[in-house]
Amino acid sequence: MAELKRLKRELIHKGSIIDLYKDYVEIPNGNIAEWDFIGHKGAAAIVPVTDEGKILMVRQFRNAMDRNTLEIPAGGLNSGGQEPTIECAARELEEETGYKSQELEFLISIATSVAFCNEMIDIYVAKNLKPSKQNLDDDEFVDVEEYSVDELCNMIFTGIIQDSKTISAILAYKEKYCS
């Protein structure tokens, strides 16, 4: 395995959820490669399972994709990324779906875009859902929908669901709990 040595990380832009840096990396042939790096503070996501075994999903407009997407609930870590991911998961579940759970079980961690970004998402399964109150951010608009695991799998293979955290989460949930 080749060892690469980062010589410098230069801030280009400080954003609200991401920061852009230019990295200068010495590669084994001695050359200096210049690679863009996106810094992200991390996130948590939830597979909310109803007592009937259905999954609660959120549909929302995603500016970056220029369209609506169907995803599991998720959100960025508070406190500059210091919030424990299980607390973020519990909070986002309640804020986005209007249900809360005290039974959150860790499923998997994913790195969304390893080629240029350090974003990590810890994904939890939430059971024993209790009605609470949806509490969205000012710029957040979310519809909640309910599907069976088989319906969601079908939507993954027909391209209706494309979000990587959702595909990873639903297929991991099915593999761990339904096989």
Write out the binding residues for a copy of itself, residues 78-107 only, by CB under 8 A. Answer: none
Exposure pattern of 50-67 as b/e (b: 16+ CB <10 Å)?
Answer: eeeebbbbbebeeeeeee
Q: Which DSSP helix (H) or strand (E) runs through 149?
A: helix 149-157
What residues between 41 and 60 interact with a copy of itself by CB under 8 A? 43, 59-60
Check residue 159 for interaction with a copy of itself (CB under 8 A). yes
65 binds a copy of itself (CB under 8 A): yes
Angle at 147 between CA 145 and CA 153, to 5 degrees: 130
Amino acid of residue 118? N
How far is C-alpha 138 from the geometric centre of its chain's CA atoms?
Answer: 20
CB distance 97 to 144 below 8 Å: yes
Per CB under 8 A, the segment of 4-12, 49-57, 86-94, 97-105 that binds a copy of itself is: 4-12
Please tell me whether residue 148 binds a copy of itself under the rule CB under 8 A: no
Task: By CB under 8 A, tell whether 8 contacts a copy of itself.
Answer: no
CB of 33 to a copy of itself, least distance (A): 4
By CB under 8 A, is residue 69 in contact with a copy of itself? Answer: yes
Q: 51 vs 139, which CB is nearer to a copy of itself?
A: 139
Among the listed residues 35, 54, 86, 147, the single contact to a copy of itself using CB under 8 A: 35
166 backbone dihedrals φ, ψ, rounded to 5°:
-70, -45
Stretch that binds a copy of itself, among 48-56, 84-92, 95-103, 150-158 (CB under 8 A): 150-158
How many chain residues touch a copy of itself (CB under 8 A)?
Answer: 71
- Do residues 133 and 100 touch, judged by C-beta distance below 8 A? no
